[in-house]
Structure formats: C-alpha cells, structure tokens
C-alpha cells in the first residue's frame, strides 16, 4: 500500500469553483486544460517519484510520462489546426456553389469567419449576402418546387443558421463595423403576394393567409404564425414568405 490520498484542499477548491462557475462547460474544460492540466500532471509525476523513493513501489517511467504529456499538448494544437483548416476549406467550397433549390436571385455568396469568446474561429457560408440602404442582409433561402411552403426540417435548418448569425456581437468588413440583419426567405408554388415578418401587422398576416387559403394547409398556416412570432422575438431576424417565380 502506498497510502495515496487526494489533496483535499485542492479538491474542495475545484468543487467550489465549479459550483460558482457561470460560463459553459466547454469554457471550463478549455481553461482547465490550458491553465492547469500541465501543472497538475507534473505534480502527480512528482508525487509518484516521491512514493517510489519512500516505498520502492514500481511506477511507470517518468521519461515515458513526460513524453505522453508532450504528445497530448502537440495533438491538442494539431487537432485545433486540422479542424480550423477543414472548416475554412468547406466554407470556401460552399461559397463557390449555387444550389438550384436555394433559388438564389437576390444576392451573392460570402464567407464569414466567426470568432467566439474562447478564441475559436469557425468559417461559415450563408446562402446570400445582400446590400441595401447601407445595411448588409445575411440571407438563408429555402425553396420548394412542389408545394407552397418548404418542409419544416428545411425551415428549421435555415432558422438554426440565422439564429447564429443574428446573435453576432458585430459584423466587420475590411476592418470596419457594418450594420446588418438576417433574413430567412421561403419560396414556394402558387403563393399569392408576399409577407415579411416582423414588419407585417397581425391584420396583414390574416389577410395573407386568407388570400392563400387554398395554398396553405392547416399545418403550414401554424408554421407561418410561429415564424411571425419568432421574428418578433428576434430583433435582427426577418422572415419572408413569397412565391418562386
């Protein structure tokens, strides 16, 4: 028996920190790895050396464990570099691709590099970028050629991407902050007129549904009403429903 014990004060300190922590688990793990992992690992190795010297208990080679620590550091940095390069390459490929079902008639493709508060960078490509009245519109477009409204999973996909873009703290182009908002454009067959949320009033929404009473089924009407609510609750998001010409 080596009578190994945890360092109680350190364990209690870690637990109290976790209980008081107000940021994400990702942030906690990243800070722990970058700021304390090496120090903690090396303390453990020192303790194992001490146990060996005092008791003669055979442990793994210190040289081998030091190499293991060095490998972890290298592979962690390499993983981040590989992920970053892959994200950037995929974004560039997407920027050069126009899909027929996106119904691109409004703007151009562009690549965004989005940096989070942890310093991670992600490369993403929305369907379109439109410049109107000194404001950049980040647009996702969903079209259907067989119905009046795209399918719910397609709508959800567009919303998911735009919720990310709409929560950007700022948008910088050539070193300068620019004004922007996001827009989901939904196009389908035989739609009469068009409507944009949250600009449209409740009365305009009811009128739009009334003139399209033969085009939208009950579920589609519910989806459109929920989209109106989504746009009202997100100041940087607009949603357009219109016909594909």
Q: 135 - beta bridge partners?
A: 132, 179
Residues 65-69, mean pLDDT to the nearest whole number: 77
Q: According to the model, what pLDDT value does residue 109 have? A: 59
Of 32-36, 64-68, 89-93, 195-199, the range with the highest mean pLDDT is 195-199
Residue 179 near residue 135, CB atoms below 8 Å: yes
Average pLDDT over residues 141-145: 90
Does the pLDDT at position 225 exceed 90? Answer: yes
Average pLDDT taken over every residue of the chain = 78
| Per-residue model confidence as pLDDT tens digits over 26-66 | 677 667 776 777 778 788 888 888 877 888 777 777 787 77
Which range, of 64-68, 108-112, 140-144, averages the lowest pLDDT?
108-112
Backbone angles phi, psi at 148, to 5 degrees: -90, -15
Who wins on pLDDT, 49 or 211? Answer: 211
Task: Please give the share of the chain, as a percent, with pLDDT higher than 70.
Answer: 73
Bridge partners for 132 per DSSP: 135
**pLDDT attached to residue 211:** 96
pLDDT at residue 183 is higher than 90: yes
Contact by Cβ (8 Å): 205, 195: yes
Tokens at 205, concatenated: 């929404």
Q: Indicate whether 177 pLDDT > 70.
A: yes
């Amino acid at each position: 028996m080596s009578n190994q014990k945890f360092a109680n004060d350190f364990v209690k300190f870690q637990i109290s920190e976790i209980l008081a922590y107000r940021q994400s688990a990702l942030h906690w793990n990243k800070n722990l790895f970058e700021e304390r992992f090496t120090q903690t690992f090396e303390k453990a190795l020192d303790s194992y050396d001490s146990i060996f010297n005092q008791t003669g208990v055979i442990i793994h080679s210190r040289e081998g464990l030091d190499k293991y620590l060095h490998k972890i550091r290298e592979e962690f940095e390499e993983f981040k570099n590989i992920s970053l390069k892959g994200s950037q390459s995929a974004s560039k490929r997407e920027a050069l691709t126009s899909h027929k079902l996106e119904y691109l008639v409004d703007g151009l493709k562009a690549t965004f590099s989005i940096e989070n508060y942890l310093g991670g960078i992600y490369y993403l490509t929305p369907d379109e970028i439109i410049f109107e009245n000194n404001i950049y519109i980040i647009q996702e477009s969903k079209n259907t050629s067989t119905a009046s409204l795209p399918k719910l999973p397609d709508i959800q996909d567009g919303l998911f991407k735009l919720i990310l873009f709409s929560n950007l703290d700022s948008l910088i182009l050539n070193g300068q902050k620019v004004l922007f908002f996001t827009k989901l454009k939904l196009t389908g067959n035989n739609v009469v007129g068009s409507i944009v949320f949250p600009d449209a009033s409740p009365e305009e929404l009811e009128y739009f549904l009334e003139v399209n009473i033969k085009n939208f089924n009950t579920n589609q009407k519910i989806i459109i009403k929920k989209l109106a609510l989504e746009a009202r609750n997100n100041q940087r998001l607009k949603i357009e429903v219109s016909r594909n010409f």
